[in-house]
Structure 1
Amino acid sequence: MLVAPATSAQDDGRADFASRFAWSIDDADFGGWSGLEIAPDGRRFFAVSDRGSFMSGTIRRDERNRIVAIDDVTLQPLPHSNGKPLPRYFTDSEGLAISHTGEVFVSFEAEHRVMRYPSVSLESATELPAHGSFERMKNNSSLEALAIDADGALYTMPERSGGANRPFPILRFKDGAWTRYHSLKREDDFLPVGADIGPDGRFYLLERTLVGIFGFAARVRSFEMTPQGLRNEMQLFRSPAGTHDNLEGLAVWRDDDGKIRLTMISDDNFRFFQKTEFVEYVIAE
């Protein structure tokens, strides 16, 4: 088992705030967005909610590449492996990863599992084999983050590690089976909620924490991926409590200017005092 060293994050990869856009549509299934993927052009997006909904849409941008509108939004339920609607306790979808061939993978944190769909049309579903640790994970705190690399290997990790001094395991699904790829030390109150592998091949991790009445704080760290595990941590940003809503989904992509962007979506928990928003940061050169 590999554990990331307890060293301070580097400062030379800091990300700058770029834009924020809050929106909603008149649909009872809109909300709770927890997993996010962005097309290479930074416009088409896909998201999953913690009530088993799959959303697609288009991001409209201005001349400065700021998000100014969301168009062409469609919602549809994620189907079960038997083709029927997901039953109770099976709908808590949290992580989303889409391969370069168009396969869709979704992780769930109530009934701990990862589902595969051949494409974004969700015409069928199969459940991947489980790792032995899945059954020991906590309800509502398990497979929150999901990412896929260029070779099609999946990476997931639970929201909670099972103890204040226990590391967060990172599991990899490759060649039909899960293995433990790495573990990250748990050093503070931030919990992992989203992950992606960027166009630079680095592993990006979105974490957040609730700071009492002040709201949510978030941060994104990135790591070099090696055969021995994660190395060379960089903290890209850390937002003060209340800066953003409950950011849970992360997509990492490169814009037309060659800059890497971190696009995030918030989970409003279907509460009237929270909001769905896209938040975007750009990694400074």
Structure 2
Amino acid sequence: MKSKRGGLRQTLFAAIALLSGVASAAAGSAGSSAVEPVEVSARPIAEFHISHADKQFGPLEFVGGLEMTSPTRDFGALSAFRFLKAGSDFIGVADTGFWFFGTVVRDADNRPSGIQNFRMQQMVNEAGRAIDEKWEVDAEGLAVKDGVATVGFERDHHVAQFKIDPADMKASFKQLDFLVPARELRQNRGFETVTHANANGQHEGGLVVVSEKSLDKAGNIYAAIIEGPHKGVFTVKRNGDFDITDGAFLPDGDLLLLERSFSMARGVKMRLRRIYGESVEKGAVADGPVLLEADMGYQIDNMEGLDVWTRNDGALMVSLISDDNHSILQRNLYLEFILHQD
């Protein structure tokens, strides 16, 4: 039986479809593009399964999480993030056209306990002016490598690169060819996954992009390898009514995808799916098994961002964040798991 809290949250989620678009469009203020320090309060989450003490969910072991709140108007709509320092300093993008930076703080048992030094900066154009039109800066996907952030944008579909400077992010210095025909990309279903393949794998560290829900005639999801020796378009097999919201490559070359499903009747669901690395190739239909599926009986929300990193003790970690759409009915969550490989 679901907890009363889970049932209440499911009822509240039924209103999101009506409110989230309006709330997101209203967020983000015109004017300065200066870096803005943001006060973030974080309530630790000890149980992933609400009112249950179990920690193991298939190959994933729940470590801990945070529910983040802030009085700052621009805080929220967190779409994607990547760690700049494993498990600590991070960079991210909000779909309202903001960069964000911060640090995950840990307790004596190495569980997340808070967020420090959180900052936000509005994205700017070539003239250094803040971009206020959401359709121009609907940032959804993010990859980082060698001091460069690569961002996938929806609505005005493009993939752009930026030099990482937490003190002063500038305009994009390069636009990338994402290979998928633009006519095949749905307005609000573009590239939510932007990630680098493994440096020693077949794609030699090249960028891979996966759309949220831009479907081919067979009902599979458009994706592409846009860098490296084997560039080309491929698709990911759509499994049920789940859409893809982020992804990152695992050390063995498999691609871990974060997926989301929503309906007015049952609320939101989250899923992690492991795509076989050898199926990520030009012309292929990539597929793989589901590792975890969770509904509103669990501590989830609109899960949008994912990163994979290695802890000091060698544990392979998976971190997730949610996008609250600037809605009072939703939450900004950070969740952390160990992915056991045996």
In 1, the alpha carbon distance for the partners of 2:325 and 2:286 equals 34
Q: Deviations over 1:55-107 (max 9, x none)?
A: 110001112221110000010112235543335211210001001x1110110
User: Is it true that 1:63 corresponds to 2:111 in the alignment?
Assistant: no
In structure 2, the partner of 1:261 is: 317
In 2, the alpha carbon distance for the partners of 1:77 and 1:269 equals 17
In structure 2, the partner of 1:93 is: 139
In structure 2, the partner of 1:148 is: 196
CA apart distance, 1:282: 1.2
Higher alpha-carbon deviation: 44-53 or 31-40: 31-40
In 1, the alpha carbon distance for the partners of 2:280 and 2:75 equals 41
Q: Deviations over 1:204-254 (max 9, x none)?
A: 110010143443211111234238638783432111235201100000011
In 2, the alpha carbon distance for the partners of 1:112 and 1:242 equals 35
Q: After the TM superposition, which residues 1-285 of structure 1 pair with which residues of structure 2 at under 5 Å, given as runs?
A: 14-81=59-126, 83-86=128-131, 88=133, 89-99=135-145, 101-121=146-166, 122-125=169-172, 126-149=174-197, 150=199, 151-162=204-215, 165-174=218-227, 179-180=232-233, 182-226=234-278, 229=281, 233-243=288-298, 244-284=300-340, 285=342
1:276 partner amino acid: N
In 2, the alpha carbon distance for the partners of 1:61 and 1:190 equals 32
Partner secondary structure for residue 183 of structure 2: helix
Higher strand share: 1
In 2, the alpha carbon distance for the partners of 1:231 and 1:185 equals 6
Q: Deviations over 1:169-225 (max 9, x none)?
A: 221111599621x32222301100001123443211100101434432111112342
Q: Tell me if the contact between 1:236 and 1:283 (Cα under 8 Å) persists in the aligned partners.
A: no
Give the alignment's TM-score, normalised by structure 1: 0.86
Higher alpha-carbon deviation: 157-166 or 203-212: 157-166
- When residues 185 and 234 of structure 1 are mapped into structure 2, their CA distance, relative to the original with a 3 A threshold, is closer
Partner secondary structure for residue 159 of structure 1: strand
Q: Tell me if the contact between 2:306 and 2:318 (Cα under 8 Å) persists in the aligned partners.
A: yes
In 1, the alpha carbon distance for the partners of 2:183 and 2:126 equals 19
In 2, the alpha carbon distance for the partners of 1:20 and 1:160 equals 28
Q: Tell me if the contact between 1:211 and 1:241 (Cα under 8 Å) persists in the aligned partners.
A: no
- When residues 232 and 170 of structure 1 are mapped into structure 2, their CA distance, relative to the original with a 3 A threshold, is closer
Q: Tell me if the contact between 1:164 and 1:186 (Cα under 8 Å) persists in the aligned partners.
A: no
Q: Tell me if the contact between 2:184 and 2:216 (Cα under 8 Å) persists in the aligned partners.
A: no
2:244 partner amino acid: P
The alignment-based identity, stated in percent, is 26
In 1, the alpha carbon distance for the partners of 2:333 and 2:217 equals 30
The structure whose Rg is larger is 2
Q: Tell me if the contact between 1:34 and 1:48 (Cα under 8 Å) persists in the aligned partners.
A: yes
In 2, the alpha carbon distance for the partners of 1:202 and 1:13 equals 17
Partner secondary structure for residue 318 of structure 2: strand
Q: Which runs of 5+ in 1 are unaligned?
A: 1-11
2:136 partner amino acid: F
1:147 partner amino acid: T
Higher alpha-carbon deviation: 73-82 or 52-61: 73-82
Higher helix share: 2
In 2, the alpha carbon distance for the partners of 1:227 and 1:159 equals 18
The higher-RCO structure (CA 8 Å, 6+ apart) is 1
Instruction: Kindly report the root-mean-square deviation, in angstroms, between the aligned alpha carbons of the 2 structures.
Output: 2.5
In 2, the alpha carbon distance for the partners of 1:276 and 1:133 equals 33
Give the alignment's TM-score, normalised by structure 2: 0.73
In 1, the alpha carbon distance for the partners of 2:219 and 2:296 equals 25
